[in-house]
Chain A
Amino acid sequence: DSGVTQTPKHLITATGQRVTLRCSPRSGDLSVYWYQQSLDQGLQFLIQYYNGEERAKGNILERFSAQQFPDLHSELNLSSLELGDSALYFCASSGTSGSYNEQFFGPGTRLTVL
Chain B
Amino acid sequence: GENVEQHPSTLSVQEGDSAVIKCTYSDSASNYFPWYKQELGKGPQLIIDIRSNVGEKKDQRIAVTLNKTAKHFSLHITETQPEDSAVYFCAALEDSNYQLIWGAGTKLIIKP
Q: Give A residues with C-beta under 8 Å from B.
A: 2, 4, 41-43, 45, 48, 56, 90, 92, 98-100, 102-103, 105-108
Contacts and interface: CB of A to CB of B under 8 A. Distances in A.
The A interface, classified by DSSP as helix, strand, loop or mixed, is loop
B28 interface: no
Contact of A42 (B34, B45, B49, B103): B103
A36 to B, nearest CB: 12
A103 B45 CA distance: 8
A74 to B, nearest CB: 15
B46 A103 contact: yes
B43 A90 contact: yes
B97 A45 contact: no
B89 A42 contact: yes
Tell which of B43, B99, B103 has the most Cβ of chain A within 10 Å.
Answer: B43
A56 B93 CA distance: 13
19 contacts: A2-B45, A4-B43, A42-B103, A43-B44, A43-B105, A45-B99, A45-B102, A48-B99, A56-B97, A90-B43, A92-B43, A99-B98, A100-B98, A100-B100, A102-B49, A103-B46, A105-B45, A107-B41, A108-B43
A105 to B, nearest CB: 3
Tell which of A43, A45, A56, A99 has the most Cβ of chain B within 10 Å.
Answer: A43
A84 to B, nearest CB: 18
Contacts of A99: 98
Contacts of A92: 43
Interface residues of B, number: 19
A45 B94 CA distance: 13
A74 B103 CA distance: 25
B104 interface: yes
B42 interface: yes
B33 to A, nearest CB: 12
Contacts of A45: 99-100, 102
B7 to A, nearest CB: 13
